[in-house]
Amino acid sequence: MLLTDRQVLILQVIVDDFIRSAQPIGSRSLSKKEEINFSSATIRNEMADLEDMGFIEKTHTSSGRIPSEKGYRFYVDHLLLPEKLNHTDMAAIKSIFAERIYELEKIVQKSAKILSEMTNYTSIVLGPAVKDNRLRKLQIVPLNKDTAIAIIVTDTGHVENRMFHFPTSVDPSDVEKMVNILNERLAGVPLTNLNSKIYKEIAVLLRHHISSYDTLLNTITDTLNMPANEKVFFGGKTNILSQPEFNDVEKIRSLMNMIEQEDGIYQLLRKNQAGINIKIGTENDNSAMENCSLITASYSMGQEKLGTIAILGPTRMEYSRVISLLQLISTDLSKVLTELYQNK
Amino acid sequence: MLLTDRQVLILQVIVDDFIRSAQPIGSRSLSKKEEINFSSATIRNEMADLEDMGFIEKTHTSSGRIPSEKGYRFYVDHLLLPEKLNHTDMAAIKSIFAERIYELEKIVQKSAKILSEMTNYTSIVLGPAVKDNRLRKLQIVPLNKDTAIAIIVTDTGHVENRMFHFPTSVDPSDVEKMVNILNERLAGVPLTNLNSKIYKEIAVLLRHHISSYDTLLNTITDTLNMPANEKVFFGGKTNILSQPEFNDVEKIRSLMNMIEQEDGIYQLLRKNQAGINIKIGTENDNSAMENCSLITASYSMGQEKLGTIAILGPTRMEYSRVISLLQLISTDLSKVLTELYQNK
DNA sequence: ATTAGCACTCGTTCTTATAGAGTGCTAACA
DNA sequence: TGTTAGCACTCTATAAGAACGAGTGCTAAT
C-alpha cells in the first residue's frame, strides 16, 4: 500500500502542474516532462493505481487527472520543499515593519494587507486576544449627569471603551474615589480576572469608602464584562474570486457569505494549534470551504500565543510559497511585538 | 413630448412588473392586466413611442420591454406613491431602538443590519463624522518610559486613541501639566479646530509652564491630527449577489471589489445632500454600479447633519418600499440621537 | 516490466432544427 | 382618427446531431 518512488514522482508532478495550470493532466503531457523518462502507457498504469488508492481523480471518465484531497494531503505532508523566497518577497515583508507603527492592531492589519497582495489569495488575521491583556488603567469620563464612558487601557496599548448609564443618585466624587481604588488594586490584572478579583478582594474595601457602592459597582463590573473576542481582519477579500475554480456564482455566494459572517471564520481559525496548520478542503468542516484550503500560523509575544495569521485560497494553492511566507511573517511579527511590548 | 396619461400608465405598469419579476414585459401580458383596457396592438404602438422617447428598451429586437434608466428616473420622480409600511416592518424598525444601546456607533450599525435584513439589499451607513464632535476630554496614559497613549473622548461619547512615542528627556510631570492645561482650554472645541486653537492660543501659555514644551507639543498635535473620516458600516454585503441581475461572475467581482474598497463607497456617499437622494445606475458615476441604484438618507442630531444611511440594490429595486423604510429609519434615528446626546 | 497501438469515452464546439414569445406593420373597423 | 385583429418576421432558448480532440483502458509485442 506504500507508494513506489515512481508513483510519488508522478503524484508530485501532477500536483505541481495542476497548481500552476488548474487543468487536468493527461498521461501524454506528463510523459513530456523533463523529470519523467517513461512512456505515457506506463504513466497511465501508474495513474490508475494512484487513482485506486485515492490520491488523484478524474473529472469525467476520459479526462486527465487532478489531485484529490488525499493527494494534496500527501503532497503537503511529504513532498513539500520549503520555497526559497526571492528578494521582492523578502522586501515586501520587511516593509510591514519598516514604518514605525506602534499600535498592535495596525501592525497586524498591515500584515494582512501585504500578505494578500503578495499571494493574491485572501488573508485573515485573528487579532490579539484582548482578554489576556492586563489592565494598565481604568478611567471614567462623565458625559452628562447620568452617562459616562468607561475606558480601559491594557498593557499592550489596546483601548476598549463602553458607554454606560448610572443612577442620578450616585455622587460623582464617589465615582472618582472608586476609580482610584480600582486602579490601585487592579493594575496588571488580566482583563478576564477583573470581575472575580473585584468581588473577591476589593468589594469589601469599597464598601468602607463609598456610600452607594452597590449600584455603582454593579454598573461598572457589567461594563468591564466586555465580549473582547479576538478581532478578525481581512486582506484581499475578493482576491479568491479571481481564482478559476470560482467561476460559479453559487460557489462565490456561499464563500462570500461565510467570509462576511465573522463568527464562522472565527470558529475556523481559533481551533488551530501553535505553529503552521494546513487544512485542506473538507478538513475544514465547512461546506463553503469545500474547494478551499486554509493555512494558519500563530504569532506570539514572548512565550504567549497572541493570535493567528492565515491564508485562505483554493485547494489548488501554492502551498510551498504560502507556508514560507506565513512562517517568515509570523516569526517577524512575533519578534517585533516582543520587542515592542515585552521588555519595557 | 409630454407623456399622455395612457403612456404614463403603461410605463408605470412596466416598471412595477419588472421590479417584481425581473423579466421583460410584452404587450400581450400587459394587456391582460386589470388596469389596462386596451388591446395589445395599441400597447405595442404606445410602447414603440415610449421607446423612441427613451423610457423603455428592448433586450433584443423581438423581446419585451424593460425600463431604461430614464424610465426609472421618471418613475421615481413622478409615479412613486409612498408605500404604507406594514406592521412587521414597523416593528422591525422600532426594534432597533428597543434595546437600550448607548453608543452612537452601535445604534448606527444595528440600523444597517436590520435595514439589510428587511430589504434583502445591501445597506451602507456612513457613521457620524467624528471631526465635527467636540472635545470632552483628552487623556494621556503612559505605557512605558517612552510610549504613551493619547485618548480623546468627544461629547457624543466617541473615543479615539493613538499610541505615540516621546523623547525620554521629557519629564512625566510636564506631560501631566500639559494635559491639564489642554483640557482646561480645549473642552468643547470641535476636533477639527484643536490644532489651530492650540497654536494660536495655548502655545504661549504652555511655554511659560513647561520646560521641554516644544517636542512634547509637536508630538501631541501630531497625535491629535487624526484622520477621522466617517466610518463606513455595511449590512448584508452579499445580499445583492442573490439578485438575478448578478448571475454573472464578472459583475459580482467588480461590485464586490468596489464594496471592499471603502474609499470608493465613501466618495459615493459623501456627496449627497440632506434628505433622500436617489441615484440610478450610471448616475452614480461608477462603472461597477451600472446595474445598481443607491438610495441615501441623512440622519442628524438636532439641526446638524451627522451621517448617511443608504441602500444599495439593483436598478430594479423596490424604490417605494426602500424610500419609506429609509425615511422612517432616518427620522427615528435622528430623534433618538437628538434625545440621547443633545439636551443633557 | 515496459511500451506501442487501438478502440472507446466523454467534453467541447459548431451546426441545424424547432418552438415560442414578442414585435412592427397593414388593413379593417367604430 | 384612434383602436384593433391579423400576419409575417425576428430573435432567443433549447435540443439534437456531427466532428474533433484529449485522454483512457486494455491487449499484445518487446
Nearest CA in chain B to A241: B253
- Report which residue type is found at A311: I
Q: Averaged over A302-306, what is the pLDDT?
A: 83
Collect all residues of chain A within an 8 Å Cβ-Cβ radius of residue B260: 237-238
The model's confidence at residue B230, banded by pLDDT at 50, 70 and 90, is: confident
Nearest CA in chain A to B148: A157
Q: Residue B198 is placed in which grid cell?
A: 492650540
Choose between B143 and B65: higher pLDDT. B65
Q: Which nucleotide is nearest to B26 (CA to C1')?
A: C22
Give the pLDDT confidence score for residue A278 in this predicted structure: 97
Give the pLDDT confidence score for residue B125 in this predicted structure: 93
Cross-strand pairs, A308: A126, A298
Residue ranges, CATH 3.30.390.60, chain A: 131-224
Nucleotides of C under 7 A from a protein CB: 2-5, 8-11, 20-26
How far apart are the C-alpha atoms of B114 and B232, rounded to whole Å? 16
- Using the predicted structure, report yes or no on whether residue A74 has a pLDDT greater than 90: yes
The model's confidence at residue A181, banded by pLDDT at 50, 70 and 90, is: confident
Q: Residue B58 is placed in which grid cell?
A: 428592448
Give the rounded percent of residues in chain B with a pLDDT score beyond 70: 94
Q: Is the CB of B38 under 7 A from strand D?
A: yes
- Using the predicted structure, report yes or no on whether residue A310 has a pLDDT greater than 80: yes
**Interface subset of A 259-298, CB within 8 angstroms of B:** 260
Q: Taking the CA atoms of chain A, what radius of gyration do you get in angstroms? A: 27
The answer to whether B225 contacts chain A (CB < 8 Å) is no
Q: Is the CB of A63 under 7 A from strand D?
A: yes
Record: fold of B131-224: Enolase-like; domain 1 (3.30.390)
Give the pLDDT confidence score for residue A301 in this predicted structure: 84
Give the pLDDT confidence score for residue A177 in this predicted structure: 83
Per-residue pLDDT of B74-85, as tens digits, reads 999 999 988 888
Q: CB atoms < 10 A from the CB of A312, how many?
A: 30
- Using the predicted structure, report yes or no on whether residue A331 has a pLDDT greater than 90: yes
In this predicted structure, which of A223-232, B278-287, B295-304 has the lowest mean pLDDT?
A223-232
Give the pLDDT confidence score for residue B296 in this predicted structure: 97
How far apart are the C-alpha atoms of A196 and B276, rounded to whole Å? 50
Pairing of β B292-301 and β B277-280: antiparallel
The model's confidence at residue B344, banded by pLDDT at 50, 70 and 90, is: very low
Choose between A266 and B206: higher pLDDT. A266
Look at B153 and A155 and tell me if their CB atoms are within 8 Å: no
In this predicted structure, which of A114-128, A235-249, A273-287, B202-216 has the lowest mean pLDDT?
B202-216
Residue ranges, CATH 1.10.10.10, chain A: 5-79
Residue at minimum CA to C1' distance from nucleotide D9: B62
Look at B151 and A165 and tell me if their CB atoms are within 8 Å: no
Per-residue pLDDT of A75-91, as tens digits, reads 999 999 888 889 999 99
Of B257, B247, B236, whose CA–CA distance to B313 is shortest? B236
> If you average pLDDT over every residue of chain A, what do you get?
88
Q: Residue B56 is placed in which grid cell?
A: 423603455
Collect all residues of chain B within an 8 Å Cβ-Cβ radius of residue A153: 141, 143, 149, 151
Q: Which of the listed ranges A115-124, A154-163, A184-193 does the model predict with the highest average pLDDT?
A: A115-124
Residue ranges, CATH 3.30.450.40, chain B: 87-129+230-342
Q: CB atoms < 10 A from the CB of A32, how many?
A: 8
Q: Residue A306 is placed in which grid cell?
A: 497572541
The model's confidence at residue B211, banded by pLDDT at 50, 70 and 90, is: low
- Using the predicted structure, report yes or no on whether residue A343 has a pLDDT greater than 60: no
Collect all residues of chain A within an 8 Å Cβ-Cβ radius of residue B151: 139, 151, 153, 159
The model's confidence at residue B25, banded by pLDDT at 50, 70 and 90, is: very high
Of A321, A322, A277, whose CA–CA distance to A298 is shortest? A277
Give the pLDDT confidence score for residue B64 in this predicted structure: 93
Give the pLDDT confidence score for residue A209 in this predicted structure: 65
Give the pLDDT confidence score for residue A228 in this predicted structure: 60
Q: Is the CB of A253 under 7 A from strand D?
A: no
Give the pLDDT confidence score for residue A227 in this predicted structure: 59
Q: Coil, strand or helix: which one is B325? A: helix
The answer regarding whether domain A5-79 maps to CATH 1.10.10.10 reads yes
Q: Averaged over A37-62, what is the pLDDT?
A: 95
Per-residue pLDDT of A10-35, as tens digits, reads 999 999 999 999 999 999 999 999 99
Per-residue pLDDT of A275-295, as tens digits, reads 999 999 999 999 999 999 999
Query: Taking each helix axis from N to C terminus, what angle separates A40-52 and A5-21, rounded to the nearest 10 degrees?
Result: 90
Q: Distance in angstroms, CA of B29 to C1' of D7?
A: 19
Q: How far is B320 from chain A (nearest CA, A)?
A: 27
How far apart are the C-alpha atoms of A253 and A247, rounded to whole Å? 11
* DSSP per residue, B52-109: HTTSEEESSTTS-EEE-HHHHHHIIIIIPPPPPP-HHHHHHHHHHHHS----HHHHHH
CATH architecture of B87-129+230-342: 2-Layer Sandwich (3.30)
Residue A138 CA to its chain's centroid (Å): 29
Of A298, A302, A297, whose CA–CA distance to A341 is shortest? A302
Q: Taking the CA atoms of chain B, what radius of gyration do you get in angstroms? A: 27
How far apart are the C-alpha atoms of A23 and A4, rounded to whole Å? 25
